[in-house]
Amino acid sequence: MAEAGDLMSRGALPSPVGTAIAIAHHGELIQGVFKDDDGSLHRGLVTLPIAGLRSEARFDRSDGDAVVVTPDHKVKAAAAARLTLDFLNVTGGGELTLQSAIPVGHGYGSSTADVVASIRAVAAAVDVQLRPSSIGRLAVAAERASDAIAFDDHAVLFAQREGKVIENFGGSLPPLLLVGFKANGGVPVDTLQLPPARYDSAEIQEFGVLRALVARAVRLQDPYLLGRAASASALISQRHLPKQGFNEIAEIARRGGACGVQVAHSGSLFGLIFDLFASNLKRRAALVAQQIRRAGFKDVEVHLVNAEGWSW
Amino acid sequence: MVTLDVDYFRDLETPRLARLAPNLVAAAFPLMKLMPARFILDRAASNGELKAGSHIVETTSGTFGMAVALLAAARDYRLTLVTASTLIDAKYKARLERIGATVIALDDPRGDGNQPGRLERLQEILANEPDGFWTRQYDSPGNWLAYARLAELFIRAMGKVDCLVGCVGTGGSLCGTASFLRTVFPHLTVFAVDTHRSILFGQPVGKRMLRGLGNSVLPKNVRHELVDEIHWVGAYPAYRTAHRLLREHGLFMGPTSGAAALVAHWVATTLPDAQVAVIMPDEGHRHAETVYNDEWLSALPGWPCKEPSEPRTLTTIAPAAETQWTRFLWLRRSLDDVLKTREASDVPPAVGAAENL
Ligand SMILES: Cc1ncc(COP(=O)(O)O)c(C=O)c1O
């Protein structure tokens, strides 16, 4: 039994090392501007997580003040580690090592995954479990705009520049199969160089409708409604960051019986959303993948969302 | 501004949803017009058109006027409603004035609502008021944009919506809800509900008994291309259906809600596999001494009448008696397209009596 004093201090730690992971995403289901309860507007998004790609972080605490990161260009991850130490009132610094399989610049959220894994690793090194909301806030503080990957597969409408949840949908996304690929010849997009999209009133009103669809889709685990929301958000995104071949893809999705088309709103990713439990899914997805390749798109891959061991 | 006020009116503008049949959900509004009124005022306040203490003007004496009056009272705006003596009863005028609105009831020698005279007076007020603001429910995009909230409420409660039924007066509620629902459900079938002798869908202008829906001028917010079917419901079947809403569902709604419910029940029965949503704009209180008063009803010529169980389908647009219910396949055409197929002499005049929306 620990003494009361021990409970309150972080003096004697079991291990000065913490490891953690964070998953990638495939862009967003929806992204836009949303009203909160008092009517003010916030930029927000619902992330589409893919657990198959991840970043791993290891944090070795040290007495020195510095946080040293490897590879050394991952300065946002280092900043996140620093912010987390400060948030937890921990003195000293440490060595942060990142290992990531997530491609950079397409909308997979490689940067946020590094940042979130780093925050979690630092917390683990001081034996603390942070709430997703705190991780999300620290991530935004470290990188200015951040997706909702701190919440893993839990669906939230996240204000990516404020680090707060606008609406918690209260559950996970339904099980999906995603046929993902890259538009615009697979050329990466520099997210931070993009000016924030300016939406007109009709678009802002429509975002409320898309949010309602996601809420219903999560509550009743309905991939069809999720697909409707994603397609509508992708269409709005076309007016702000157009992707070549959008109409062709929408047509392939329609003919292939997909629930919808999804994009990375500040990246080059495209995805066709399928209900994981739809009949003939493997055959249909393979057919769609072939049509997408023939249409000239790059890197066609299959991702599973909340598949719980379902094997492709 | 006190945040609580905003919450109160947001709650008051929020309809209660009622399941009228396994595949039919009604949005029963206490006062639907609060939704566009609040949206238009909020937008004007945030873009600077509407300043603290501004003078709001509008040409209605109907439910939109009531909604703006409540908001103006809570938010300290002055409000002038310009109407015609033929369009407002003493009780409603007194109610609006008690809320703090100035109600100008112009003479109406021709009995057509004197809309030109009302617009002229409204312009005079605006010319003399640097801080004047005209809400323009007929033409302001704010009217239809506001109904994204209704589309949201339907979706959260029903998921996929296949059919939408609603009245048309300014067009804001039906066309707004329909256009937002259709962006996500392109297959949505839209049933517009109007009344005989309203010009909105190509009938010749004339005296109408059922008020609140229909029009004798054409607002910009009516977007004909969204409409698949138009139904014209006479006053009698609208009243009868309002009575049935109360007796069979415990819903105390106004007669335009009755008209919408009549059409919606028919749609839901005809298309049992479709999920149907219907908009019901206001409650019955204002009609307690008329539509819900047996004495008043029994003085109506031909009352009680047999209730039509289905509409009569027209191939040529024409008015019918107040006991009748007719329908026409509009098929998402423009008004011009539909009118082109008719005799030139049948084309209704562009302006006529002013409205009671
Ligand atoms: C009672 C009632 N029903 C229906 C309508 C028609 O609605 P809209 O103007 O949105 O077309 C109105 C409009 O004022 C109304 O007051």
A145-165: average pLDDT? 94
Residues B126 and B106 in one domain: yes
Ligand 1 centroid – CA B76 distance (Å): 26
A225-245: average pLDDT? 95
Q: The whole model's pTM is what?
A: 0.93
Residues B195 and B270 in one domain: yes
Number of domains, chain B: 2
Residues of A in contact with B42 (CB under 8 A): 39
Long-range contacts formed by B244-247: CB under 8 A, 24+ apart = B245/B280, B246/B284, B246/B292
Residues B150 and B226 in one domain: yes
Burial of B57 (0-12, 13-18, 19+ CB in 10 A): buried
B248: which 2 tokens? 């069979």
- Find all residues with CB under 8 Å of B155, minimum gap 6, and list them: A209, A212, A213, A216, A225, B161, B181, B184
The radius of gyration of chain A from alpha carbons, rounded to an integer in Å, stands at: 20
Protein residue whose Cα sits closest to atom 15 of ligand 1: B212
Nearest-by-Cβ selection for A225 from B7, B149, B160: B160
Helices first, then strands: H and E counts in chain A: 8, 10
- Residue B112: the pLDDT is 73
Residue at B221 is within a domain = yes
B119: which 2 tokens? 């617009």
- Residue B60: the pLDDT is 84
Give CA–CA dist B151/B277, Å, rounded.
10
DSSP characters over A73-128: T-HHHHHHHHHHHHHTT--SEEEEEEEE-PPSSSSS-HHHHHHHHHHHHHHHHTT-
CB contact under 8 A, B148 and A209: yes
Ligand 1 centroid – CA A169 distance (Å): 34
- Among the residue ranges A134-138, A141-145, B242-246, B328-332, the one predicted with the least confidence is A141-145
Give CA–CA dist B87/A247, Å, rounded.
51
A307: which 2 tokens? 């598949």
ipTM passes above 0.95: no
Strand order in the sheet with B24-28: B16-21, B24-28, B276-280, B163-167, B189-194, B229-233, B325-329, B312-313
Residues B294 and B147 in one domain: yes
A190-194: average pLDDT? 66
List, in sequence order, every residue forming a beta bridge with A274; answer none if it has no partner.
A177
Indicate whether A11 pLDDT > 60: no
Give CA–CA dist B57/B39, Å, rounded.
16
Indicate whether A4 pLDDT > 80: no
Q: Are B138 and B220 in contact (CB under 8 A)?
A: yes
Ligand 1 atom with least separation from CA of B143: 10
Nearest-by-Cβ selection for A216 from B43, B141, B155: B155
Q: Are B135 and B40 in contact (CB under 8 A)?
A: yes
Nearest-by-Cβ selection for B184 from A205, A209, A220: A209
Residues of A in contact with B153 (CB under 8 A): 212
Q: Are A226 and A259 in contact (CB under 8 A)?
A: yes
Whether chain A has a CB inside 8 Å of the CB on B226: the answer is no
Angle B189-B190-B195 from CA coordinates, rounded to 5° = 145
CATH, range A173-305: 3.30.70.890
B250: which 2 tokens? 């415990």
Residues B159 and B289 in one domain: yes
- Residue B348: the pLDDT is 45
Give CA–CA dist A181/A96, Å, rounded.
32
Residue at B1 is within a domain = no
**Residue B343 phi, psi (nearest 5):** -65, 140
Among the candidates B134, B158, B183, a domain finishes at: B134
- Ligand 1 site-directed mutation target among B164, B213, B221, B286, most atoms within 8 Å of CB: B213
Indicate whether A191 pLDDT > 80: no
Residues B22 and B107 in one domain: no
Cis peptide before B36 (omega within 30 of 0): no
Burial of B249 (0-12, 13-18, 19+ CB in 10 A): middle
Question: Residues A76, A78, A79, A83: is their CA dihedral positive or negative?
Answer: positive
- Residue B6: the pLDDT is 56
Q: Are B108 and B143 in contact (CB under 8 A)?
A: no
Instruction: Return the DSSP state at A151.
Output: G
Domain boundaries, chain A: 2-168, 173-305
* C-alpha distance from A172 to closest chain B C-alpha (Å): 17
Q: Are A54 and A102 in contact (CB under 8 A)?
A: yes
Residue at B347 is within a domain = no
- The residues lining ligand 1, judged by C-beta closer than 6 Å to any ligand atom, are B 33, 62-64, 167-174, 212-213, 254, 256, 281-282, 357
Residues B82 and B63 in one domain: yes
Q: Which residue of B has its CA nearest to A229?
A: B184
- Between β-strands A298-305 and A269-275, what pairing exists: parallel, antiparallel or unpaired? unpaired
B65: which 2 tokens? 């006027």
Long-range contacts formed by B89-96: CB under 8 A, 24+ apart = B92/B61, B92/B286, B93/B61, B95/B66, B96/B61, B96/B65, B96/B66, B96/B69
Q: Does domain A2-168 have CATH number 3.40.1410.10?
A: no
Whether chain A has a CB inside 8 Å of the CB on B3: the answer is yes
**pLDDT, averaged in runs of 10, over chain B (357 residues):** 64 97 98 97 95 94 92 97 89 95 90 83 93 95 98 98 98 98 97 96 92 91 98 97 98 98 98 98 95 96 91 96 97 95 50 38
Residues of B (130-159) whose Cβ lies below 8 Å from A: 141, 145-146, 148-149, 151-153, 155-156, 159
Protein residue whose Cα sits closest to atom 2 of ligand 1: B212
Residues B130 and B185 in one domain: no
Q: Are B191 and B226 in contact (CB under 8 A)?
A: no
Residue at B2 is within a domain = no
Give CA–CA dist B346/B339, Å, rounded.
9
Residues of B (174-213) whose Cβ lies below 8 Å from A: 180-181, 183-185
Q: Which of B184, B188, B221, B226 to mutate to test the interface with A (most CBs of A within 10 A)?
A: B184
Q: What CATH number is given to the structural domain containing B61?
A: 3.40.50.1100
CA dihedral B220, B225, B226, B228 (to 10 degrees): 130
Residues B27 and B88 in one domain: no
Residue at B290 is within a domain = yes
Residues written for chain B: 357
A252-263: average pLDDT? 96
B270: which 2 tokens? 């005809």
A120-147: average pLDDT? 95
Q: Are B114 and B84 in contact (CB under 8 A)?
A: yes
Residues B192 and B333 in one domain: yes
Q: Which residue of B has its CA nearest to A218?
A: B156
Percentage, residues of chain A above pLDDT 90: 79
Residues B251 and B192 in one domain: yes
Give CA–CA dist B154/B164, Å, rounded.
10
Indicate whether A89 pLDDT > 90: yes
Residue at B46 is within a domain = yes
Residue at B318 is within a domain = yes
Q: Which residue of B has its CA nearest to A37?
A: B7
Give CA–CA dist A199/B90, Å, rounded.
45
Look at residue A188 and give its three-state secondary structure.
coil
Residue at B65 is within a domain = yes
Give CA–CA dist B56/B45, Å, rounded.
12
Nearest-by-Cβ selection for A212 from B146, B152, B160: B152
Q: Can you give the residue range of the structural domain that contains B91?
A: 34-134
Residues of A engaging B, defined by a Cβ cutoff of 8 Å: 37-39, 201-202, 205-206, 208-213, 215-216, 220, 222, 224-225, 228-229, 231-232
Residues B54 and B163 in one domain: no
